[in-house]
Amino acid sequence: MPPHEIARMIYAKKSKNEVYFNGNNTIKRRCKKEESTMYKKTVWRLFFLLCFIGFLVACNEESDVAGVSSPNLPGGQGDPFIEFTYIPPVGSFNNLEGRVLHVYPSEYRVAVFIYVSGWWNKPTFANPLTSIGSDGSWVTDITTGGIDEKASRIAAFLVQATYNPPVLSGDNTFPAELEQNATAKVEVNRGP
């Protein structure tokens, strides 16, 4: 084995110094001062890395405040909002479509009602709430029986996911309790 290879393998502790090969076929001693300097540099590098990560997180939060949509909050910050994006015409059996903004979809549901000689829960009494997609969109079947396709009015309420809406089977008005628990509401008249 050549001498410079042997020197590379040398590692000996003598008092407070370490002996190591520096790559130029010479043996050098590393003192505590060098180790202290290396430690300080490492600490500073970690400090600046953490500051940079904090800056990136802060920038992301500011983008939500500025109204930029985040993956979990469609539409970004703002007042809760609900709208219809597709209203099937009278006589159609197509689904009702809509979207919500400024709320976390996993925490809310949509309670839909149609008016056919009174208000009726949709899609059914057993399933009166519609889930909201992560992008804020939702779809509800409003023609699940009777003459639902002839409904003259449609209403949707944005409610907390834990809320149980009242069962309506031909009521002429919405109960005050439903209106009070709604975060947002939309209603439309459908002409023939």
State residue 56's pLDDT score.
Answer: 76
Confidence class for position 170, pLDDT limits 50, 70, 90: very high
For 6-24, the pLDDT digits (tens) are: 555 554 444 445 555 555 5
State residue 46's pLDDT score.
Answer: 78
* More confident position, 151 or 56: 151
- Contact indicator for 159, 165 with CB cutoff of 8 Å: yes
Token pair of 32, please? 């505590």
Q: Please check the confidence at residue 61 and state whether its pLDDT lies above 70.
A: no
Which CATH code, of 1.10.357, 1.10.287, 2.60.40, 3.40.50, is assigned to 81-189? 2.60.40
Q: CB-side exposure of 60: number of CA atoms within 13 Å?
A: 10
* More confident position, 192 or 80: 80
Residue with tokens 């002839």: 150
Q: State the CB neighbour count (10 A cutoff) for residue 118.
A: 13
Q: In the chain, what are the domain boundaries? A: 3-65, 81-189
C-alpha torsion angle, residues 149, 154, 159, 161 (rounded to 10): 10
- Across the chain, what does the average pLDDT equal? 83
